[in-house]
Chains A and B, each alone.
Chain A
Amino acid sequence: MRTLHRFPGGIHPEEHKAESSARPIHAPFIPNRLFIPMRQHIGQPAKPIVKVGDKVLKGQMIGQADGYVSTAVHASSSGVVTGIGLHAVAHPSGLPDLCITIDTDGHDTWTELQPLDWQSLDPAAVRGYVRDLGIAGLGGAVFPSSIKLDPKNQPIHTLILNGGECEPWITCDDRLMRERAEEVLQGARIMQHLLGAQTVIAGIEDNKPEAIAAMQAAAEKLGLQIEIAAMPTRYPGGGGKQITQTLTGLETPSGKLSTDIGVQVFNVGTAYALARAILHGEPLISRIVTVTGHVLGPQNYETLIGTPMGELVMHAGEREGTTGLIMGGPMMGFDVQPEAPVVKATNCVLVKSAELFPPKPRELPCIRCTECARVCPAQLQPQELYWFARAKNFGKAQEYNLFDCIECGCCSYVCPSHIPLVDYYRFAKSEIWAREKEKHAADIARERHEFRLFRLEREKKEKAERLAAKAQTKKAEAPTLTTDEQDAKKKLIAEALARAQAKKAGVAPKNTDNLTPEQCAEIAEIEARRARIREMAKKTIEPEKHL
Chain B
Amino acid sequence: MLTAILVMAGIAIVLGAVLGYAALRYKVEGDPLVEKIDAILPQTQCGQCGYPGCKPYATAIAKGEADINKCPPGGEEGVKKLAELLGVEVKPLDAEPKPKAVAFIDENLCIGCTLCIQACPVDAILGAAKQMHTIIASECTGCELCVAPCPVDCISMVVLKEDLPHWKWKYPVFRIKQAA
Contacts and interface: CB of A to CB of B under 8 A. Distances in A.
A141 interface: no
Contacts of A496: 111, 113
Interface stretch (A55-63, A92-100, A479-487): A92-100
A458 interface: no
B164 A533 contact: no
Interface string B162-180: 1110111111101110111
Given A93-B167, A497-B111, A540-B149, A446 B172 contact: no
Interface in B49-70: 53-54
A427 interface: yes
A362 B169 contact: no
A178 interface: no
Contacts of B108: 503, 507
B134 interface: no
Interface residues of A, number: 51
A501 interface: yes
Interface residues of B, number: 43
A442 B168 contact: no
B111 A537 contact: no
Nearest to B143: A445
Given A445-B45, A537-B115, A92 B175 contact: no
B171 A427 contact: yes
A170 B57 CA distance: 57
A438 interface: yes
Interface string A426-440: 110111001000100
Interface in B121-180: 121-124, 139, 141, 148-154, 162-164, 166-172, 174-176, 178-180
B16 to A, nearest CB: 31
A317 to B, nearest CB: 32
Contacts, number: 115
A127 B178 CA distance: 52
Nearest to B129: A544
Given A91-B164, A362-B175, A537-B149, A500 B111 contact: yes
Majority secondary structure, A binding face: helix
B43 interface: yes
Contact of B109 (A360, A455, A504, A536): A504
Contact of B44 (A430, A445, A540): A445
A449 B53 contact: yes
A333 to B, nearest CB: 15
A501 B152 contact: yes
Which one of B111, B151, B175, B180 has the greatest number of beta carbons of chain A within 10 Å? B151
Given A362-B175, A541-B113, A445 B122 contact: yes
B48 to A, nearest CB: 15
A262 interface: no
Contacts of A217: none
Interface string A66-108: 0000000000000000000000010111011100000000000
Interface in B21-51: 38, 41-45
B151 A533 contact: yes
Contacts of B152: 497, 500-501, 504
A530 interface: yes
Classify the secondary structure of B's interface with A: loop
Interface in A93-131: 93, 95-97
B168 A430 contact: yes
Interface string B88-132: 000000000000000000001101010100100111100000000
Contact of B169 (A427, A444, A448, A500): A427
Contacts of B151: 497, 500, 533-534, 537-538
A488 interface: no
A537 B169 contact: no
A431 B176 contact: no
B65 to A, nearest CB: 21
A533 B148 contact: yes
Given A449-B53, A452-B121, A444 B167 contact: no
A444 B139 contact: yes
Contacts of A503: 108-109
Contacts of A434: 166, 168
A449 B122 contact: yes
A77 B89 CA distance: 63
A530 B180 CA distance: 55
30 contacts: A93-B167, A96-B164, A97-B164, A362-B178, A362-B180, A363-B175, A363-B176, A364-B176, A420-B172, A424-B172, A431-B169, A434-B168, A438-B42, A441-B141, A442-B43, A445-B45, A445-B139, A446-B43, A448-B139, A493-B113, A497-B151, A497-B152, A500-B111, A500-B152, A503-B108, A529-B148, A530-B153, A537-B149, A540-B115, A541-B113
Interface of B: 38, 41-45, 53-54, 108-109, 111, 113, 115, 118, 121-124, 139, 141, 148-154, 162-164, 166-172, 174-176, 178-180
Given A445-B139, A452-B123, 14 more contacts: A91-B167, A93-B164, A95-B162, A427-B171, A429-B169, A430-B167, A445-B122, A448-B123, A497-B111, A503-B108, A504-B154, A529-B148, A537-B149, A537-B150
